[in-house]
Amino acid sequence: MTEETTTKAKRRKNLFERIIIIGLGTLFGVIWLYAHWNLASQPPHHKGPGAVDQPGETSPQP
């Protein structure tokens, strides 16, 4: 009977571990996708070359 009890405990532990791993992986994926979607939908905030808000001004001509 002890062997049967340990087998049941291992099965429960194995199922619990799988649920935790799948849950954490899904949570990480959802957060990662939301963060990248959110960043992609906002314009860049820098004012360097190639910025969206910058007018077509290049270097001043002498």
Are 53 and 43 contacting, i.e. CB atoms less than 8 angstroms apart? yes
Is pTM beyond 0.75? Reply is no
pLDDT in tens, 9-22: 788 889 999 999 99
Are 43 and 52 contacting, i.e. CB atoms less than 8 angstroms apart? yes
Check residue 23 and give its pLDDT. Answer: 97
d(CA 44, CA 42): 7
Extract the runs of DSSP E, i.e. beta strands, from the chain.
Answer: none
Are 47 and 54 contacting, i.e. CB atoms less than 8 angstroms apart? yes
d(CA 59, CA 47): 15
Low-confidence ranges of the chain (pLDDT < 70): 1-3, 42-62
